[in-house]
Amino acid sequence: MARQASALAHLAWPFFTDAHRQFARELADWADSEIAPLVEHEPQDVDGTFREIVHRLGRAGWLEYAVPEPFGLAPARLDVRTVCLARETLGQLHGMADFAFGMQGLGSGPISQFGSDELKRRYLPRVASGDAIAAFAISEAAAGSDVASMRTTARRDGPDLVINGRKTWISNAGIAEFYVVFARLEGEERSFVAAVVDADNPGLRVSERIVVNAPHPLGTIDLTDCRVPATSVVGEPGKGMRVALGTLDIFRSTVGAASLGFARRALAEATAHALAREAFGKHLSDFQLTQAKLADMAMAVDASALLVYRAAWTRDAGAERVTREAAMAKLFATESAQRVIDDAVQLFGGRGVVVGETVERLYREIRALRIYEGTSEIQKLVIAGQLIAEAEGQQK
């Protein structure tokens, strides 16, 4: 894929160090060589292609950036700017490449951020090497945005936990080596727990694979008297919601980065098409309406990048929570990317809806990002809640 110089221009911003800049450029070059051939055409074997992408990312050392060095052991912190740069860079190439990297980070995020040293040593090196695919299992049929209404339960039985319930819309379901499962503690209405469940646990079964418009591994898992030892609990028992929200607090801004990558690719494709396509004796780029559309697209891309990397930098600078910043980044970047990609399709005209065109693929890939890890509507509630709480605190 030929990347425009403007796709890397933001690396000059003060959010980044020279190490960040080198990382982004080297990853872009490597991905164009090693990942592009895998996704040049719509993959027929989604699971196989996804696994191969994860394995290549791991073997080349890129997945080490999805967990804190040295593999999550204290006192290391995840460098969120690096994760955002990775997802943006891979997102410009293909949604599946971005998702393979992003899910390794999100799926293992509860362990790297809240897990015991034992859990970190057991799982994170295999996540970093690409030998273990991770999954984050929180959503249920009646508990998507309202995660606190989950019905999956965990009861204490001696030194073990026994989990029963069903999780759906789970990314990597069916190919993951382990799942971080969230459940309500029986008898404790407002207490939750997070626990690592290995894929070969006899109490865990993938009951359904879900096919969506932009193919990636997705499915439903059933947990039936699924027994795990107390050592599999992530964080403190009863504080599983803190684990979930703390993990999402970090990774929401990276969803914005992925959509930023999609938008950059759409803008590049639209600009190249406008320069090449002739109509009424002129190039499309000569028409003021085309120029206005391209200007709006470019402005949306830069504004998204500013919000995404503001959130990432704030976290990397030492903030424990970036709830407001991450919600703004995720909301604005995903909604903006949807508009940018739609404008690109419009500029392509009939070609824009032909299967096989890059902008057509991007049109399908972007839609889910406005939903997963908190819908746009939820992000607005989060942002407003933060504003109101801050104002109330100032009045006291």
Positions annotated as catalytic residues are: 373
Residues shown for the chain:
396
Q: What is the DSSP letter of 149?
A: G
Task: Report the C-alpha dihedral over residues 81, 63, 145, 389, rounded to 10 degrees.
Answer: -30
- Please, what sign has the CA dihedral across residues 42, 48, 54, 58? negative
| Alpha carbon distance 391, 208 (integer Å) | 46
| Distance from the first to the final alpha carbon of the chain | 56
| Alpha carbon distance 382, 377 (integer Å) | 9
CB proximity list for 179: less than 8 A, separation 6 or greater? 107, 134, 135, 136, 137, 167, 170, 173, 196, 197, 199, 204, 221
**In a 3-state reduction of DSSP, which class is residue 274?**
helix
| Alpha carbon distance 360, 357 (integer Å) | 5
User: Which two tokens mark 93?
Assistant: 């190439």
Are 10 and 302 a contacting pair, CB within 8 Å? yes
Strands annotated E in the chain: 134-137, 153-157, 160-171, 178-185, 192-198, 204-209, 218-229, 233-238, 278-279, 282-283
| Alpha carbon distance 308, 119 (integer Å) | 30
